[in-house]
Amino acid sequence: MLSSIEATSTTAICHICQDKATGNHYGAISCDGCKGFFRRSIRKDHNYRCRFVNNCNVDKSHRNACRACRLRRCLESGMRESAIQSERDVLGKRQKLDGTDESSRFFDNLVDSEKLCLQLRETVIKSTEQVIYDKGKIKYENHPKIANLDDVRSSMHQQLVILVEWAKSLGLFQALPIEDQ
Amino acid sequence: MLSSIEATSTTAICHICQDKATGNHYGAISCDGCKGFFRRSIRKDHNYRCRFVNNCNVDKSHRNACRACRLRRCLESGMRESAIQSERDVLGKRQKLDGTDESSRFFDNLVDSEKLCLQLRETVIKSTEQVIYDKGKIKYENHPKIANLDDVRSSMHQQLVILVEWAKSLGLFQALPIEDQ
DNA sequence: GCCAGTCCAAAGTTCACATCA
DNA sequence: GTGATGTGAACTTTGGACTGG
Ligand SMILES: [Zn+2]
Ligand SMILES: [Zn+2]
Ligand SMILES: [Zn+2]
Ligand SMILES: [Zn+2]
């Protein structure tokens, strides 16, 4: 209970610079910035030197001011050199978004269909909600749990938005640079 | 004794990268890494290119440096494309876990609506595909990029599956233990 | 137990942009 | 102002843990 709250708050903050953490990287709860910084530092065998007294402030807005102190904090926070792997094979080139006639029509259609889907879901969930209410199994008017049906709906909406966004970018990619790659 | 040691050591080493093997996968004694790599490579119909002379070192610490050479060794070691099954249809799996009247009806409805959504998407994408074809802008019959329209569809399917699964678990949770927590 | 499959945390890469020699 | 280098958000791949026939 308490520990879970504690755990949540612990995993939310970068132990090196107090920025928002994105998980456990190389042995320390950390942000993407510190993750990348540590990898680059180890890969390039950097030899940083603090211009002051190895005691610089390392937070989100100062973390790039002293590499020596940032790296020191990475190690102090538990990052291990051994977790850095050697370079991998190259991935493909990444794609750029654009928005032109053919493509945008495609996505307008997609978005429209997604809206329809959302409506369908709404209907299904609403009706179920109604049934559950009508059954009158329990009076949970003030029961905190009742919020869950709304949660279902709003979270679904969220997911949908992400899905559409994703479809947009991926689709744009494939329809536009036909001759590139 | 000696034979058992021999047998153990034989089955213990991945024939592709010399890491610890976990069994016979797709026709070759191999580790989990090479197993997964081969499955992903076949499923995604990857076309890797060696940046050197198709002679890269493939061992535990270098196996990710050249995918072309890793895949070549997979095949040389006896892995067969035919042993790769197609993705399992999670939508077809359905529940089986709950089976409770009210809940299952709710989820049946949800799943049905999701199927409808999928169909809608199919239609939208198909028709766009047709339009692009009809336009005949470029003859990319054999263009490798043409696979992307399928990618769009299959990835969408994936996303959908995830969404439904999520809705299922969340819904199940909220609908069943009404009195708990 | 074996070997297909899936899941997902934590590795990786890419690249627009910032900053510097 | 030009090219080299660093940053970190966005994205992909990997492989160990797990499920099911
Ligand atoms: Zn940080
Ligand atoms: Zn310092
Ligand atoms: Zn291997
Ligand atoms: Zn190679």
Segment B131-153, tens digit of pLDDT: 444 443 333 333 333 334 444 54
The tens digit of pLDDT for each residue in B61-103 reads 999 999 999 999 999 999 999 999 988 754 444 333 344 444 5
**Strand C nucleotides below 7 A of a protein CB?**
2-7, 9-16
Contact B121 A113 (CB under 8 A): yes
**Banded pLDDT at A167 (limits 50, 70, 90):** very low
Does residue B65 approach strand C to less than 7 Å at its CB?
no
- Give every CB contact of residue A166 below 8 A, 6+ residues apart in sequence: B155, B159
Question: Between residues 99 and 128 of chain B, which touch chain A (CB distance below 8 Å)?
Answer: 102, 105-106, 109-110, 113-114, 116-117, 120-121, 123-125, 127-128
Q: What Cα–Cα distance (Å) separates residue B76 from each residue in A81, A154, B55, B71, B80?
A: 34, 51, 13, 9, 10
What distance in Å separates the CA atoms of residue B69 and residue B63, rounded to the nearest whole number?
Answer: 8
**Banded pLDDT at A163 (limits 50, 70, 90):** low
Residues lying with their CB under 5 A of ligand 1, a single-atom ion: A 14, 16-17, 19, 31, 34
The reply to whether the predicted model has a pTM over 0.90 is: no
Question: Between residues 144 and 173 of chain B, which touch chain A (CB distance below 8 Å)?
Answer: 144-145, 148-149, 151-152, 155-156, 159-160, 163, 166-167, 170-171, 173
ipTM over 0.90: no
Contact A178 B138 (CB under 8 A): yes
Contact B137 A178 (CB under 8 A): yes
Name the closest residue on chain A to residue B171, using Cα atoms. Answer: A152
The tens digit of pLDDT for each residue in B108-136 reads 555 555 556 665 665 555 555 554 444 43
What's the pLDDT score for residue A104?
Answer: 53
What's the pLDDT score for residue A46?
Answer: 78
Q: Average pLDDT of B10-30?
A: 93
Interhelix angle A67-76/A32-43, nearest 10 degrees: 100
